[in-house]
Amino acid sequence: MSNPDEFLPNTAPFAPDQVQWLNGFLPNLQPDQLTWMEGFIGGLRASKGGVATTSAVTPELTVLFGSESGNSEGLADQTVKTATKSGFKAKAVSMADINPAKLKGIENLLVIVSTWGEGDPPENSVDFVSILMSDKAPQLSGTRFSVLSLGDTSYEHFCKTGIDVDARLEALGAQRIYDRKDCDVDFDDDYAAWSTGALAALSALVTVAPAASPSSAAPVTATVKYSRKNPFPSELNERVLLNGRGSAKETIHLEFNLEGSGLTYEAGDALAVIPHNAQDVVDAILGATQLDGSSTVTLKDGECSLGDALTRKLDATAISLPVLKRYNEIAQDDKLAALITNKEALKEYTWGREIIDVLTDFPAKSITADQLAGTMRKLPPRLYSIASSPKAHPGEVHLTVGVVRYDSNGRERKGVCSTYLADRIKEGNAIDVFVTANKHFKVPANPDAPLIMVGPGTGIAPFRAFIEERQATGAKGKNWLIFGDQHYLTDFLYQTEWQNYLGDGVLTKLDVAFSRDQAEKVYVQDRMRENGNELYTWLEEGASFCVCGDASRMAHDVDQALHDIIAQEGNMSEAAAADYVKQLKADKRYVRDVY
């Protein structure tokens, strides 16, 4: 040091005014304060891509997740990697695999949980959340925590599960060390801010051990990694209409090329597609606002034209309460203000309507291109259950998509992504995609275990993948498909394939329910009940029971049928049947992919 009164050497990498401040601050710190600073700086360093270098112990960190589509699980894994670099001994734990009573022994807890349906916990988290909210939950005065909540602002109960879990942990005595962050479907930036802040806050409260030094191995040539943030442009190889002439439905089979992408998937995973809004939707919005599509707007990722933003980057159709509130800050419409505060009237209005309706029903006297763009959220990707096994179709990924078209409130409506795939993408064109893993919806790990698949309509998609996977791996377990749709002649999706599987013995049993082919409608749950004895026998033999399709009615009806069959065929009480089903879930033999 050039001056013995100075604490920092003159070679320290700080500006003169920073050195002066630090020389006045650091020498006065007490040992416990220095320890606090060491932890805080270590966490901050790791959050910015560095390596933690503090010494002492290796504190444990549990990253608890509740996931429906795989996003929460993916973020939990990402958090574990970052926390490990910060010097924590971190692990990700599914809510399906832990009882809330075990939280009592956890000192450092980060929770990442999504909200599904009408404010419900994810499928794998229902039991955990139920117990956590009950009198059976433990006191958690020794636990530090923070919550990241994933949701969708187009739903009424935005992030409800995360909000409830956050409040409950505090009520149980846990110490919130970083505020909850509620994320919409565009969650990347919010997650980054939360993980950085939460890990830094934890590091400030504990002393972390040094993380492993970076490898000194020779650098390797960087390769492009395709992911959610950098989707892969996948070419459409083939599109086939699956319904016969005269069907009331339009279901398409699509095959995309993944060669050279480095993307991998397993049967049961989902493919996320980033759609474009239709040109007539964009034109209608520009016409209603009298804005020029060539006008420049500023979005999070930079500048572009308003027309480009409405086509490729913004959700130009979905109405939600936040969208309406942001728009009315500009429109200042008394009728819209009254609608926003009337829950029932708002629900009725938003049903079957889109942003174009808001613009025409409550026109703003003046609105700029940036203001219009600022009312909308980022265009979210659409997830589709993959309809192929990579073992049967290397370098490809297949989808089964129901195309949505309907009339409502005097306008023709259409599904943003389904019509994008059906109408505007030609063979040879590329779309942006990435893979979303679904670790909890898989073929049985035991190849000899029986498999029961219930998948009406497009819910058949993952079971096409499952049966291809079982055939490709030579699995010996029995396979039973229960499929339903409207008409046998026009809506038997992949009929030839299933009949070939029957003939080859790969498919052991096939039951179909075509609801409109007779006076009284018949559904997949009716076929289950008709075959109740055999279904229960398969379960007793160790069968997995897998369901895919509509969550609003089908999944509930199938679940009720399953409970009833187990009670009847197993000669059990309702409570005992419920316990049987709960054990199936715990054993990962009752899994669902519902939407």
Residue 333's pLDDT is 97
Residue 228's pLDDT is 87
Structure tokens at 65: 């997740």
Whole-angstrom distance, CA of residue 295 vs CA of residue 371 = 12
Greatest distance between any 2 Cα atoms in the chain:
97
346-395 confidence digits (pLDDT tens): 999 999 999 999 999 999 999 999 999 999 999 999 999 999 999 999 99
Which residues partner with 175 through β-bridges?
144
Mean pLDDT of the chain: 90
Mean pLDDT of 501-520: 97
Tell me the H-state helices in 278-420: 279-289, 306-308, 321-331, 334-340, 343-350, 355-361, 369-375, 416-419
Residue 100's pLDDT is 94
Whole-angstrom distance, CA of residue 95 vs CA of residue 77 = 14
Looking at domain 279-375, its CATH superfamily turns out to be NADPH-cytochrome p450 Reductase; Chain A, domain 3 (1.20.990.10)
Please, what is the end-to-end C-alpha distance for the chain in angstroms?
Answer: 66
| pLDDT greater than 50 at residue 217 | no
Residue 357's pLDDT is 98
User: Which of the four pLDDT bands, split at 50, 70 and 90, describes residue 223?
Assistant: low
Q: Any idea which fold 451-594 has?
A: Rossmann fold (3.40.50)
- What lies within 8 Å, CB to CB, of 592 at 6+ separation is 123, 441, 546, 547, 548, 555
Q: What is the dihedral of CA 418, 420, 426, 431, to 10 degrees?
A: -100
CATH 2.40.30.10 fits 232-275+381-436, yes or no: yes
In the chain, where are the structural domains located?
33-205, 232-275+381-436, 279-375, 451-594
Whole-angstrom distance, CA of residue 437 vs CA of residue 593 = 12
Mean pLDDT of 306-329: 96
Which range is least confidently modeled, 41-55, 128-142, 165-179, 569-583?
41-55
Tell me the H-state helices in 188-245: 188-205
Mean pLDDT of 426-445: 95
Residue 37's pLDDT is 63
Mean pLDDT of 152-161: 88
Question: In terms of Cα–Cα distance, which of 108, 81, 79, 65 is closest to 202?
Answer: 108
Structure tokens at 158: 């935005």
Q: What is the dihedral of CA 498, 503, 504, 507, to 10 degrees?
A: 50
The percent of residues in the chain predicted with pLDDT above 70, rounded, is: 89
Residue 305's pLDDT is 98
Residue 34's pLDDT is 55
Neighbours of 178 (CB within 10 A): 20
Structure tokens at 270: 């989902």
Mean pLDDT of 459-463: 98
Whole-angstrom distance, CA of residue 542 vs CA of residue 448 = 9
User: Which of the four pLDDT bands, split at 50, 70 and 90, describes residue 11?
Assistant: low
187, 193 contact by CB (below 8 A): no
Residue 220's pLDDT is 47
User: Which helix (H) or strand (E) is 42 found in, with range?
Assistant: helix 31-47
Which range is least confidently modeled, 56-70, 198-212, 432-446, 464-478?
198-212
Q: Cα 201 to chain center, whole Å? A: 26
Structure tokens at 324: 């309406």
33-86 confidence digits (pLDDT tens): 555 566 556 555 555 555 444 445 689 999 999 988 788 999 999 999 999 988
Which residues partner with 208 through β-bridges?
57
Residue 17's pLDDT is 72
Residue 194's pLDDT is 96
3-class DSSP assignment, residue 43:
helix
522, 535 contact by CB (below 8 A): no
DSSP 453-481: EE--GGGGHHHHHHHHHHHHHT--S-EEE
Sign of CA dihedral 157, 98, 536, 480: positive
Length of the chain: 595
| pLDDT greater than 90 at residue 16 | no
What are the C-alpha distances in Å from 566 to residues 179, 572, 583? 45, 7, 12
User: Which of the four pLDDT bands, split at 50, 70 and 90, describes residue 206?
Assistant: confident
456, 485 contact by CB (below 8 A): yes
Using only C-alpha atoms, the chain has a radius of gyration, in whole angstroms, of 27
Sign of CA dihedral 320, 326, 327, 329: positive
Mean pLDDT of 467-492: 98
Mean pLDDT of 177-196: 93
Residue of 534 and 12 predicted with greater confidence? 534
At residue 122's C-alpha, the angle toward residues 264 and 583, to 5°, is 95
The percent of residues in the chain predicted with pLDDT above 90, rounded, is: 79
| pLDDT greater than 90 at residue 225 | no
153, 326 contact by CB (below 8 A): no
Comparing 33-205 with 451-594, is the CATH topology the same? yes
CATH code of the domain occupying 33-205 = 3.40.50.360
- What lies within 8 Å, CB to CB, of 498 at 6+ separation is 481, 483, 507, 510
What single-letter DSSP state applies at residue 520? S
| pLDDT greater than 50 at residue 544 | yes
Whole-angstrom distance, CA of residue 320 vs CA of residue 467 = 39
| pLDDT greater than 90 at residue 21 | no
What single-letter DSSP state applies at residue 111? E
Sort 170 into a burial class: Cβ within 10 Å, 0-12 / 13-18 / 19+: middle
Which range is least confidently modeled, 7-21, 275-289, 539-553?
7-21
Mean pLDDT of 215-244: 81
